[in-house]
Amino acid sequence: MQQNHVEWNDYNDKVLIRFDQAIMPYLIDLKNNFTQYAISDIMELNSKYSIILYKWFSMSYNQFEHYQYKPNRTKKQLEDYKSPRIIISDLRELTDTVDDYSRFDNFEKRVIKDAIKEINSFTHFNVEYEKIKKGRSIDSIQFHIVKKANWKDENYKRNDVQAQLTEEQKQAQNQVNYAVAVANPFTMKLINSSLLYATDIANQDTILELAESVYPVYDKLVKELGEDALATHMDYVRRKMVDYSNEKKNIAKYLSIAAKQYLNSRLSKQQMKE
């Protein structure tokens, strides 16, 4: 099994990072519209219509989960992902029933009602639907998808391959965030200031914590006081910081506290002068 690899060249201060091939699709952002569904759920479904609709529901709901905390989707778009609407002719195309169940009541029972009953019984979704009329005829169906709360329960997920893959995807996303954090200019500034070492760079948790709790403070510091102030601060921290080891000190926490104290002190002095 391949692992991430870090090399640090002391001669020219270059850092070489080689990532496991398994995370490359994430690094090049091929997962944006990735449709995932629980294999154990599919195995419990007997009707082909249940399977088709379950996959379609998963595609839509996964879009909701992917974008719900991102700014590039409106509230209405997020609601549409959770409550997808499909016209009857498209639903017949989807389920390959264009020439079957000509009477709508038969179509509704065989393709919609029975499928949703099975999906609600054996998958991590609870689905309801409503019929939308256009004139006197049924024009479309709007589904309302809710993920069951016990989907997060470890006992529920224990034998579910897709749930395990989801955890792996989270790990892969952490590695993507790690790559972004390593490429952050502040990382190289810390290296050049002798505040980070090869062991720190190779530690994913350390780098992720720096990105979360230290780099935002550095951003604010640069915006408020300028690049020279950050360089002065890093030099001061380097001179004053005692030797540390992983067992003795959390370097990210140390740098975060130092940066906040410095920033607050400088801003307070500025306010006093004003």
Q: What is the CA radius of gyration of the chain?
A: 27
Judge whether residue 268 has pLDDT over 50: yes
CA dihedral 86, 87, 91, 93 (to 10 degrees): -130
pLDDT of residue 199: 82
- Plot region of 135 (φ>0 → left; ψ -120 to 50 → alpha; else → beta): left
pLDDT tens readout for residues 93-148: 999 999 999 999 999 999 999 999 999 988 889 999 999 999 989 999 999 999 88
Span 49-72, pLDDT tens digits: 999 999 999 989 988 988 888 888
pTM across the whole model: 0.46
> What confidence tens digit (pLDDT) does each residue in 160-202 have?
554 555 556 667 777 888 888 888 899 999 998 888 888 888 8
Q: How confident is the model at residue 39 (pLDDT cuts 50, 70, 90)?
A: low
Paired with 128 in beta bridges are 144
